[in-house]
Amino acid sequence: MRKFLKNSLLGIALLGLGALISAFLGAPAQAGVTKESADFEVQRIPSSGQVDTSANYFDLRFKPKSTQTIRMRVQNFSDHKITVHSTLRNAMTQMGGGISFTENTEALDPSLKYPFTKLAKLKKGHQKIKLAPQQAKIIEATIKMPAKHFEGMIYGDWHFIEYAKKNKGKSATISGNYAYSMGIALRGRAYNIYPKLKYRDVTPTLYHRHPAIAVNLRNIKPMALTKVSAQAVITPQGKDKPKYVFQKADTSVAPNSVISLPISWAYNRLKPGKYTVKAKLSGQNLWNRLPMQWTFKKSFTVSKDTADKLNKQAIKKPVNKWAFAAVASGVLMIVSAVALWRIIRLRP
């Protein structure tokens, strides 16, 4: 009888411990995915100015002052009418690395002499393309080259998007939109130049709603970097710990752009004071794949006002209520088991 009770009590204790561990580890999340095909496709029409004929994007070289036309074919493959929106955008480097695009020119690095959107314009009426079922249209953009020869490359894209229709009372989600991006590179006469990175500054910010420091590095040359690996480490000045780290591999940096390396404090509070940042970035020059590397070491100060503001805006660490319930249940089971054991021992 006592052996049976011992085994029962052990089972109760293990059950409580199992509940406690499960609460902290949690269960895997699941998500449903719906796969759909796009209503339309786009096709690049070859240009006489194409340099690399094997490239799947516009790789162009034109004479200074010349005005050229490039074309795209847009095809509706659906059995209903659609509207496709077309825009030209400038290349930039997104937070953490990777080439992205923007219509805005104000956020571009001042080293960029000729933003793509200052040179290229869509033909009137080609910003909004209405297509009947199965219909195809040829749309055009004109490029007016700078009066003087330029170095390296000017980079942008031609963006196409069909916005998902809004249901009554519901807004369309990003995942419901169909989009294509066609890269456009304009080559200068002196194309074979090398990227050059310079340290700009650090910016206290929020990254994924956590306090963070963005380390901003400028590529001041009109040439892209590929196969980029970046690392940045921040520590309190004169100390080795705590250490806050950002790492990313196999990314890219656009010509004449800023790459910001976001170092997150996660759920920790950003403290005011003096810090040291060490940053290292390596990659390959786009045109000849030559390996290149830069390292930076700088000091900076975070003011109390800045730290307080970011900490106030940051997301708070969620409280795991199930963990507290599991702990309480586990404690209750153990107390009950001990009490029951003592009662059994006192019995004759």
Kindly write down the DSSP assignment for every residue of 2-52, as one continuous string: HHHHHHHHHHHHHHHHHHHHHHHH-------------SEEEEEEP-TTBS-
346 SS3 class: helix
Note the pLDDT of residue 54: 94
Note the pLDDT of residue 218: 98
Residues 221 and 145 in one domain: no
Pick from 187, 208, 229: which residue ends a domain? 187
Tell me, yes or no, whether 93 lies in a domain: yes
Residues 167 and 253 in one domain: no
Tell me, yes or no, whether 32 lies in a domain: no
Tell me, yes or no, whether 255 lies in a domain: yes
Pick from 152, 187, 222: which residue ends a domain? 187
Check if the beta carbon of residue 132 is closer than 8 Å to that of residue 142.
no
66 SS3 class: coil
Residues 265 and 232 in one domain: yes
Note the pLDDT of residue 24: 30
Residues 239 and 109 in one domain: no
Pick from 187, 212, 236: which residue ends a domain? 187
95 SS3 class: coil
Note the pLDDT of residue 333: 73
Q: In this structure, what CATH number is given to the domain that contains residue 121?
A: 2.60.40.10
Q: In this structure, what CATH number is given to the domain that contains residue 208?
A: 2.60.40.3480
Tell me, yes or no, whether 35 lies in a domain: no
Residues 166 and 238 in one domain: no
Residues 183 and 44 in one domain: yes
Phi, psi at 94, each rounded to 5°: -80, 165
Tell me, yes or no, whether 330 lies in a domain: no
- Mean pLDDT, consecutive 10-residue stretches, the chain (348 aa), reads 42 37 32 55 97 96 97 97 98 97 94 98 97 98 96 98 73 68 96 97 97 98 98 97 97 98 97 98 97 98 98 86 58 68 64
Residues 154 and 68 in one domain: yes
Note the pLDDT of residue 199: 98
Tell me, yes or no, whether 33 lies in a domain: no
Residues 60 and 83 in one domain: yes
Burial 308-341 (b: 16+ CB within 10 A, else e): eebeeebeeeeeeeeeeebbeebeebeeebeeee
Residues 179 and 204 in one domain: no
pTM of the model: 0.79
297 SS3 class: strand
* DSSP at 190: B
Kindly give, in sequence order, each residue whose CB lies less than 8 Å from that of residue 321, ignoring residues fewer than 6 positions away: none
Residues 182 and 293 in one domain: no
Q: What's the domain count of the chain? A: 2
* Whole-number CA gyration radius for the chain: 29
In 3-state terms the chain splits into helix, strand, coil percentages (rounded to 5) of 20, 45, 40
Tell me, yes or no, whether 169 lies in a domain: yes
Sheet containing 210-219: which strands, arranged edge to edge? 197-207, 210-219, 257-264
CA distance 188 to 66: 13
Tell me, yes or no, whether 20 lies in a domain: no
Note the pLDDT of residue 252: 98
Phi, psi at 19, each rounded to 5°: -65, -40
Residues 139 and 247 in one domain: no
Residues 44 and 176 in one domain: yes
CA distance 163 to 330: 52
* Host domain of residue 235: 197-313
